[in-house]
Amino acid sequence: MEDAVEKFAIFGGVSWGEIDTSKPSFELIEKLILDDYSYIRNDINELTDGQPLYHSILTAIALSDGKAHAVYKRAHVEESVGEKAVETLLERGLIRFKRSKGADDRFSFTLPFLRFWFAFVSPLFKGIRDGEYKEVKERWQSYENEFTHPIFTELSHALLRKKLKDDSIMEISEYWKNDGLTLDIYAKTKGKKRIIGSCKYTNSKIKKSELSKLAELAQKANIDADMLVIVAKTGFSKELKALKNENLRLYTLKNFKELLG
């Protein structure tokens, strides 16, 4: 499942047939993307008209948390110019708004592959064009887990919708405030329960201290949570697993198999 999640973060949204998830990610990146750079670039340019402004903004979104002011600053464009460009990109279905109550909207990509392209390929096109992939490989190895985390979070939302059938989820999303407070999971159920949680895409087992962090975040956000959820790539300490109950749900990558049915 770890391979499947990571490959989806790279190739999600493409229609290239079945992808062998048993192969190392960068081997597939090199064979299916970098070696065919010129052809894929032409397809991308049909979506963006090859406009450097659009590419700069899309790369800024791919390499940031998606906040508008951060995107325009990273792309080195004035806000008024950036807003017009974003309007076009929204109309063309390349990006969308992510919303949180009481906070500014953020931009995100509609397809995982577009995010990968503008994070790892478009900014490094000169080397790729010349057949040199070292810089792409180094960037991928440095940001692999961080890059996969947003997809892991979205899949965690889908898993919770499937798991909580008795009290179905009416809404689920990330939650953030402009002061920097962020929750990976914020949900409301049909029975008016409120759920908060975290998604940990790391190679370390999650310890009991994560509960204290969640409680602190809930207090800062003024959320009276009825249930806590932690979704972890690697698993949990024995101490934390011993606390699992109806109001503390713990899930790992193994649970994601349910999404395939």
Q: Kindly tell me if the per-residue pLDDT of 192 is higher than 90.
A: yes
Ordered domains of the chain (ranges, CATH): 2-151 (1.10.10.10), 154-260 (3.40.1350.10)
| Tokens 């670039």, located at residue | 41
Range scoring the smallest mean pLDDT among 122-126, 163-167, 215-219, 235-239: 163-167
Question: 195-241 pLDDT, tens per residue?
Answer: 999 999 999 999 999 999 999 999 999 999 999 999 999 999 999 99
First to last CA, the chain: 14
Global pTM value = 0.91
Grade residue 261 by pLDDT with cuts at 50, 70 and 90: low
Q: Distance between CA 242 and CA 240 in Å, rounded?
A: 5
- Rounded Cα gap, residues 163 and 180, in angstroms: 29
